[in-house]
Amino acid sequence: MRHHHSRCRNGLKTASLLGLLTALVIAFGHWVGGGPGLIAATVLSLAMNAGAYFWSDRLALRAMAAEPVTERQAPRLHAMVRELAAAAGQPMPRLHISHIAQPNAFATGRNPRHAAVCVTDGILRLLTPRELRAVLGHELSHVRNRDILISSVAAALAGVITSLANLALFLPLGTSDDEDTPNPLAVLLMVILGPIAAGLIQLAVSRGREYEADADGARLSGDPLALADALEKIEHWTRRMPLPADAPHAAQAHLMIANPLAGDGLAALFHTHPPTADRIHRLRQIAGRLPRRAHGARADDVAGRETAPLTRR
């Protein structure tokens, strides 16, 4: 019951944030172009959301240079995901591997029937089967909760506001006494603050879904401590080998289980992921509430010996 109430609160919060983002799009469109601007903003929002809905998975996998992996190539990886998908009551997703050294993983796809899970070479080398299984549980929870679709819609709406802000730069400017043209100061404020507000709302949506996927993934795998250990390892290695901000992979940072980009201090405020230390703390709290089980033995039953490779080269 407590978990159900938490999910309801998170769902209401996400819906409220998306509603606020939509209202911001409408207001911005009306401010930029009046009635025609409102119509243009609405059409642009629908077009970008449709693109995100149908093609976000292909774009994400292409950006990560991810290759599909068959059951023959990675039998134990497939076995892990199949077992977790069956426990979650959802279809088996497509599996992909991205040949980059940084340890990370992500899920993509608009719903469980059109989903894909991608892991990097780095994460396969770094984590034990128990930890990898917990990470896969996190990603399957994103799929089950439709988080990819929600994040894609939020990103599309934020993109509309940024496009409208750029368009506002070409508006004819007047003075504060001129009723027919916008005040230059108002234009400047909207151009700067509009995209920032949209970005912050998008971050709030993304961070909330990460916390929920951690909790749901921990319950799905039955091993929150393994997920905490995995996040700790991934955080350490992503700090040692961050992706360059201009790399093709960087555009998919919001999808990954851990932020792959460099940045501390003020830059950390704009990360799409919550602080890893906070996520680990929450997972350890969940572990204290779950009944003790032989998680490591269960994971090894699926994965086999930890020293054996997860894929066949």
CB count in 10 Å sphere of residue 262:
13
Q: Output the known binding site for Zn(2+).
A: 138, 142, 210
CA 49, distance to chain mean position in Å, is 16
Selected catalytic residue, list 67, 83, 131, 139? 139
**Using CA atoms, how far apart are residues 23 and 92, in angstroms rounded to an integer?**
37
Helix 184-221 with 2-63: angle, nearest 10 deg? 110
**Using CA atoms, how far apart are residues 233 and 280, in angstroms rounded to an integer?**
11
**Using CA atoms, how far apart are residues 260 and 53, in angstroms rounded to an integer?**
24
Contact 14, 205 (CB under 8 A): yes
Q: How far apart are the first and last CA of the chain?
A: 46
- Based on the residue annotation, tell me whether 139 is a catalytic residue of this protein: yes
Catalytic residues: 139
